Amino acid sequence: MTESAGALTKAQSLPSFAPGGPSGAGGRAVDDDGVAVVDAPIRFRTSLHNTLYDVCKARGWREVEGELDWDIHWADVHWIRDVLDHIRLEEHQRVNHFRNHYELTRKDLTIKNLKRLRKVLEKEDKMEEAAKYDFFPATYVVPAEYGLFEIDFRRTPNIVWIMKPIGKAQGKGIFMFTRISQISDWKKDHKWKSDSPQAETYIAQRYIDNPHLIGGKKYDLRIYVLVTSYSPLVVWLYRSGFARFSHSRYSMNTKELENTYVHLTNVSIQKTSDKYNAGGCKWGIRNLKLFMMSTHGPAAVNQLFGDIQNLLLRTVQAVHKVMIQDKHCFELYGFDILIDDRLKAWLLEVNASPSLTAETPADYHIKFNLLEDMFNIIDVERKGKVAQEERVGGFDLIWKNGPTKGAAPPGSTVQSYLGCVNERAIPMHLMKFPPKLQSTNERPLI
């Protein structure tokens, strides 16, 4: 039923909480002010039975299925849309999405908010800062902006474009094209009219055709960002992450444009390839950073990773004023970043529900540590130990209503902790892996 009943050895296991105290609303132990106390087991609700479930159980939490009798709910976005606005949460309850999370994670709205903030900065004559919002390629929402897209398309011939449906993930529905006629045929298939309810919304985006390659293969980065508040804005960056590689050598040959194994790095796409090797498609960001330093030099790579951190912050800041603040909400985002052959970072998309299922021991190891550290920050147990901390496990506090000291090592040429060592991670040899993930020879992603 689950990947593991408990992911730590006895020596590293986390304390559980014994029941006790008066029962409050929904059965949670509370004090005289209605605030949850820590001498009762934390109750969690989730439909996921993967690494997330294992972390919750390892912390001594108790799974519940009731609609509201939980302390923390790892909900899907459909529950947020259908239920959250119609219930009243108790002081202690936490949920893993903000109400209008889609402002950051739906492909068309991501671009809309980035463009909007850039225009605001330009109107305020902050041209230097506005110019830094150059980390997303030319993008149009179609069919609504089809006219503008067509003008740009015809003005820049011989450019490859990529189409992405706004409401799908894992590479579904994505295709590339070089001729407007390819779109014309597709429009007919989709009954395309800008005012038609039958028209599926896509974004048409210039394809970044010069990715940085390693071993002749394309890759992108999965980076984790935790936002615990939008007012004031509080942003944590996880220093570990991974690169996801394609299993076919990169080529811009027109015959290869339809080959998703060449151009899309999504694991859900790559795993359907005959060449797929679960252990070979991911590389820890720390190892990637060290490799790039050996080939491009420390200065250029430190600049790149500083640029990536600034890209992440600017993207979150683009929705700072439109996101509905709720003290009960937090969000763990999965950012997908591409590096080109000039060492420029590009935003591909922001995921509201990054995969927490593990395919390999290294995958399980990084995701278990990620979630363990995240729950320590959320502090459902109300231990109160992280209020003034700028580092919790592998997370570094990079913004708290302004830049923080934890955003980068002081007095160093390193501009971000992203890709730095996480010496606080639970070591792989101390973890108890699920039966299906018992291989011991894999290199850690942390």
Under the banding of pLDDT at 50, 70 and 90, the label for residue 361 is very high
- Residue 2 predicted with pLDDT over 50: no
The per-residue pLDDT for range 52-66, each reduced to its tens digit, is 999 999 999 999 998
- Amino acid in the structure at residue 70: W
Average pLDDT score over residue span 142-165? 90
Query: Is the pLDDT score of 253 beyond 90?
Result: no
Separation of alpha carbons 245 and 283, rounded Å: 8
CATH 1.10.3720.10 fits 1-135+219-250+270-446, yes or no: no
Distance CA 243, CA 221 (A): 4
Task: Look at residue 101 in the predicted model and tell me its pLDDT.
Answer: 96
Give the integer Cα–Cα distance in Å for 231 and 109.
20
- Provide the pLDDT for residue 23: 33
Whole-number Å distance between alpha carbons of 8 and 55:
9
- In which band, very low, low, confident or very high, does the pLDDT at 138 lie, cut at 50, 70 and 90? very high
pTM of the full predicted structure?
Answer: 0.89
Task: Sketch the domain layout of the chain as residue ranges.
Answer: 1-135+219-250+270-446
How large is the greatest C-alpha to C-alpha distance in the chain, in angstroms? 71
- Which of 47 and 406 is assigned the larger pLDDT? 47
Average pLDDT over residues 188-202: 60
Q: Count how many Cα atoms sit within 13 Å of the Cα of residue 345 in the half-sphere of its side chain.
A: 25
